[in-house]
Amino acid sequence: MSTTTDQPEVSFDTEPSAYRHWKIDVDGEIAQLRLDIDEAGGIVPGYELKMNSYDLGVDIELYDATQRLRFEHPEVRAVVLTSAKDRNFCAGANIRMLAQSSHPWKVNFCKFTNETRNGIEDATANSGQTWIAALNGTAAGGGYEMALACEQILLIDDNSSAVSLPEVPLLGVLPGTGGLTRVIDKRRVRKDRADVFATRSEGVRGKQAVEWRLVDEVIPKRQWDEAVAERAAAAAGRSTRPAGAQGITLPPLQREVTADGIRYQHVEARFEREQGLVEITVFGPEGDVPDTVERVHELGAGFWPLAMTRELDDLILRLRTNELELGTWIVRTKGDVEDALAFERVIAEHSRDDWLVNEIRHYFKRVLKRLDVTSRSLIALIEPGSCFAGALLELALACDRQYMLEGFMEEDSQEGEPAQLVLSESNFGAFPMSNGLSRLGSRFYGDDDTVAKLRQETGRRIEAVEAMELGLVTDAPDDIDWEDEIRIMLEERASLSPDALTGMEANHRFVGPETMESRIFSRLTAWQNWIFVRPNASGPDGALRRYGTGRKADFDRKRV
């Protein structure tokens, strides 16, 4: 892979029979997910995945596995994450891969792996699938970070296996997928011990690992299999996952990819490369609304909210990874407002009592979060024929700006209705951001009176002038000014530094108190991105470049 902006085209398509690095075994209410890296199976050439180390391709499979366990295996109540290799759980992200990768590749890799680990935690918290890390060997760096995403961490006591975060002492970078934050925020490791741990390359093992709260339990090798099975059975016994539920199949996504865009059934992206932007349109539902939960299950992956969410998820990942110079995303919707709200009501009415509907709601939540942390300028255009209502309104609220046309364009038909927004209860907390707030709560942070007033406006159609008065849109030009206003805004955006925009947008999107998740994506990720481009890490004499050569890194000692 080139160290310039050139990079391979990445696909996120996979399924269990195509996995090169993971093995899934489902036995009743327990699933085992075993890491068994194919050393020659790197997603790009130039390195070998030794010692169960991983790259983006490994994590694409892991993400697919988490999704299939949630949707295709509702019978699974506990997931044991372990290794198929004796005495070696996982050595973390492959160092040769990181050393040869471009900066954007490293950043996107870390962001995706972060999101996948957050998804593991979300499965434990919201799906009744408790994840248990069964470390049957040493877990270093990203391998230990993978374990940190699990609810329980079990470590084999074989006088050699340890947990470690060796990035600072060995590589001159930070743990890339939330390790520093999870150790103190989630595991409640004392900060001085966390400092020792993160600078001790050999890590910690045995009883000290338990004492320091780095793992929950160390288990003698002779008792390992039996104890892991007991812990998994106990976790399954506490699960709220329904007994006897039948999963649905997640078939391959159908898409048409051209040089000018990507088209799915419910989502479309058109590229304007000269302007550096992509126009994304989400199409609302068509056809009858399922009148029973049984009908939702019959539709399965064809149920519009799930089908649309899967397509939007795939599009975001593809654009983020493969289209680095399309720096502005214009977000539109097309469809009938009432149809969109009708499908939303099915989700709202049954998410508490049906596992599949619950999974769909949380999946849409996770995809919205993926949009929130995407380093692109997000602009919503709300026009006649839009269906920014309820859950779909969250797409507009996730954007940095919202422009709503007042009335109609002169050349368009005056039939139908002007652009409208509709608030629903789902806009007030059903799809929280990483900071724990709703997007309305973030938009009007510290102004609870306005949020309370907006709650009283739910269920009715709000047109441009009123939306402007309520603070729901940035501007509401009429047909005379619309095209010029949008053109000038987009031209101004394109003239600004992409780096400065990324920092500005991330700062504005996440207001208020920090959570563990927001800290991982903001503070820790920002520092890591900076460290990745510093000579001490990535320079010719930096730690990443010299790792494994027998030569120590030559650090610039100035503290910046």
425: left (phi over 0), alpha (psi -120 to 50) or beta: alpha
Q: What is the pLDDT of residue 338?
A: 94
Q: Are 549 and 99 in contact (CB under 8 A)?
A: no
User: How far apart (Å, rounded) are the C-alpha atoms in residues 346 and 310?
Assistant: 18
Q: What is the total count of domains within the chain?
A: 2
| pLDDT of 529 | 85
- Residues 132-165 pLDDT 10s: 999 999 999 999 999 999 999 999 999 999 999 9
**Alpha carbon distance 123, 114 (integer Å):** 14
Looking at the structure, do residues 230 and 270 belong to the same domain, yes or no? no
531 belongs to a structural domain = no
Residue 425: inside a domain, yes or no? yes
Q: Which two tokens stand for residue 276?
A: 């550096």
- Give residue 413's pLDDT: 64
Note the pLDDT of residue 5.
44
Residue among 553, 464, 539, 441 nearest 99 (CA) = 539
pLDDT of res. 176:
87
Asked if residue 372 and residue 319 are part of one domain, the reply reads yes
Cβ pair 368, 308 in contact under 8 A = no
Residue where the block lists tokens 């120590």: 552
d(CA 524, CA 273): 32
pLDDT at 4: 36
What is the pLDDT, as a whole number, of residue 255? 97
Short-list 441, 496, 434, CA closest to 471: 441
Strand, helix or coil for residue 221: helix
Assigned token pair, 316: 């975001």
Q: Please tell me whether residue 249 adopts helix, strand or coil conformation.
A: coil
pTM of the model: 0.95
Calculate the alpha carbon distances from 165 to 101, 171, 191 in Å.
21, 11, 14
Is there a contact between 513 and 506 (Cβ–Cβ < 8 Å)? Answer: no
- Same domain membership, residue 389 and residue 262: yes
What residue type is assigned to position 466 of the chain? E
Residues 230 and 328 in one domain: no
Are residues 266 and 204 part of one domain? no
Examine residue 335 and state whether it is found in any structural domain, yes or no: yes
- What does the alpha-carbon distance between residue 358 and residue 395 come to, in Å, rounded to a whole number? 20
Do residue 418 and residue 289 come from a single domain? yes
- Identify the pLDDT of residue 37: 97
The Cα–Cα gap between 80 and 235 comes to 10
Do 78 and 116 lie in one domain? The reply is yes
Q: What is the DSSP letter of 389?
A: B
List, for the chain, all residue ranges whose pLDDT scores fall below the cut of 70.
1-7, 413-414
Query: Quick check: is 514 in a domain?
Result: no
Q: What is the CATH number of the domain that holds 420?
A: 3.90.226.10
211 lies in a domain?
A: yes
What per-residue string of b and e applies to 514-537 under the rule 16 or more CB within 10 Å gives b?
bbbbbbbbbebbeebbebbeeebb
Indicate whether 490 and 365 sit together in one domain.
yes
Quick one: 216 and 269 in the same domain? no
Domain extent, residue 454, equals: 257-509
What ranges in 219-336 are assigned the alpha helix state H? 224-237, 293-299, 304-322
Q: Do 293 and 329 have their domain in common? A: yes
Give CA–CA dist 526/529, Å, rounded. 5
In-domain check, residue 523? no
Domain assignment present for residue 318? The answer is yes
Assess whether 43 and 182 both reside in one domain: yes
What average pLDDT does the structure give for the chain? 94
Residues 6+ apart with CB under 8 A from 292: none
Asked whether the beta carbons of 381 and 332 are under 8 A apart, the reply is: yes
Provide the Cα torsion 157, 159, 163, 168; round to 10°.
Answer: 170
H helices present in 476-524, as ranges: 482-495, 498-509, 516-519
Same domain, 138 and 36: yes
Using alpha carbons, list the distances in angstroms from residue 108 to 38, 502, 525.
22, 13, 11
Contact, 175 vs 145, CB < 8 A? Answer: yes
Domain-embedded: residue 520: no
Determine whether 14 is exposed, middle or buried from the number of CB atoms within 10 Å of its CB (0-12, 13-18, 19+).
middle
Residue 387 tokens, joined: 């269906």
